[in-house]
Amino acid sequence: MAVLLAVMIAGCGRTPSKTGDEAFQPLNPDAAVFWDRQTTESAELLRSLVETFNRGWRGMPVKVERAGSYADIFRKVTGGINAGVLPAMAVSYESMTCEYIPLGAVRILDDLIANPEAGLSETELNDFFPNVLETNRFPEHGNRFYSFPFAKSILMLYFNKKVLADAGIDAPPETWEQFLDQCRRVKQETGRYAHAVHADCSTVNGMMYSMGGAVVQGRETLYDSEAARAVFKLYETLAREELAYLISPGSYEDNVALAKNEVAFVLRSSSGMSDMMLLMEGDRERWGVTRIPQRDPARPATVLYGPNVCLFNIGEDAVNAAWAFVKHFTGADVSVRWALETGYLPVRKSALKHPDMLAFWEQWPHNRAPYDCLPIAKPEPNITGWQQVRDLAARAVTEIMTGIHDASTAARILKESADQALARAARP
């Protein structure tokens, strides 16, 4: 991450090597290369979907390549922009796409979406969940589409029923006050930690939403707001009372601990449900998943995250192939299959009425929990400079959990450093 941050800082204020009027060179002139991060079964499924698409597509074939983690992909795309050589498309968080847009690398999608033959009809567009679709518009860049939904998920609360039962608790918390109370009861009754903390910006943002707050106002962060301070104060209490511990960066030690009955709670993406089921060895009686605790359960909120796909300016043949695949991938039937086999959420409303989806919900009550949270899920900021802010927010949580700063100090430092990062990114 230090190398990644250095690359981003070095890129701030420089003159782009390519402009929006020039086409970058294709990584592969014979195929529309798709850089992705999926592994194991998800990667196999994606390759299968690409093969199916290629059999029915008469243009340039799509070729999927695993390019590493999101950080790796960001680094490779940034390097490709500087070198003038890019794939046809890549998975990209909004914060990543914001860094590519000013360098002229990203293909605007509005004309492709509106194309009478190759685009999406008004009915089809209305079938997408509004919050999923709108996060791909970038207000700082004419409110145009620079990416399209791909693999979306929602911040959820995972809980271990056995650990809760050992503490005399029969249901997961609905409010943050109940969450803290249950953490204390778990510690008192079992001697275990109640929560394993994953220091992550998206988690902080989701908690702020659930506290009734917002994350940004214009180009200023709200990390010193009352909602943010409540989140950081919660972390401070968890650390001070030894109710929670911090996991290693980039690891899934929290999920493993939950599966081993070592903690009661984990805050993670809904996309991890299938992996959690594997860790639990298929035992559905030991765990569950529900919406994250709320300040006011009558006005719930959580965070919507997960990558989108952005297309790059490497020539119309590659662009047309990439867009055709994106359209195929986000079709209702494929969207359902992708959701059921990976744990990600479908991006289409009609997917929730699909017989396979209804059957999936019947298998286990908790299967439906993330889908019920779709209407209350709020996207993260898609403004230039947010990629740097993500690391700063994660560092703030780390410093609180390790006792370097108290909640108030961490909030102040985060607010100052995050706003400075956004200001630097906004300079021409």
Q: What are the pLDDT digits (tens) for 77-117?
A: 999 999 999 999 999 999 999 999 999 999 999 999 999 99
* Amino acid 39: pLDDT: 83
Q: For residue 155, what is the DSSP state?
A: E
pLDDT for residue 374 is more than 70: yes
Mean pLDDT of the chain: 92
In which band, very low, low, confident or very high, does the pLDDT at 1 lie, cut at 50, 70 and 90?
Answer: very low
pLDDT cut 90: percent of the chain above it: 87
With CA atoms as reference, report the closest residue to 158 among 275, 247, 290, 272: 290
pLDDT for residue 22 is more than 90: no
Provide the strand spans (E) within 9-80: 25-26, 32-36, 62-66
Amino acid present at 162: K
Taking 3-state DSSP, the helix, strand and coil percentages for the chain, each rounded to the nearest 5, stand at 50, 15, 30
pLDDT cut 70: percent of the chain above it: 95
pLDDT for residue 3 is more than 60: no
In which band, very low, low, confident or very high, does the pLDDT at 41 lie, cut at 50, 70 and 90?
Answer: confident
- The domains located in the chain, with CATH, are 19-152+305-370 (3.40.190.10), 153-304+383-426 (3.40.190.10)
pLDDT for residue 6 is more than 70: no
Q: In Å, what is the CA distance from 344 to each residue of 42, 131, 278, 390? A: 10, 15, 16, 22
pLDDT for residue 223 is more than 50: yes
With CA atoms as reference, report the closest residue to 354 among 323, 333, 376: 333
Question: Mean pLDDT throughout 347-368?
Answer: 94
* CB-based contact 201:216 (threshold 8 Å): no
Q: What are the pLDDT digits (tens) for 136-147?
A: 999 999 999 999
pTM of this prediction exceeds 0.85: yes
Q: Report the C-alpha gap between 140 and 383 in whole angstroms.
A: 7
Helix (H/G/I), strand (E/B), else coil: 428: coil
* CB-based contact 16:70 (threshold 8 Å): no
Of the CA atoms within 13 Å of residue 96, those in its CB half-sphere come to 24
pLDDT for residue 315 is more than 50: yes
In which band, very low, low, confident or very high, does the pLDDT at 428 lie, cut at 50, 70 and 90?
Answer: low
Q: What are the pLDDT digits (tens) for 150-208?
A: 989 999 999 999 999 999 999 999 999 999 999 999 999 999 999 999 999 999 999 99
pLDDT for residue 10 is more than 70: no
* CB-based contact 389:424 (threshold 8 Å): no
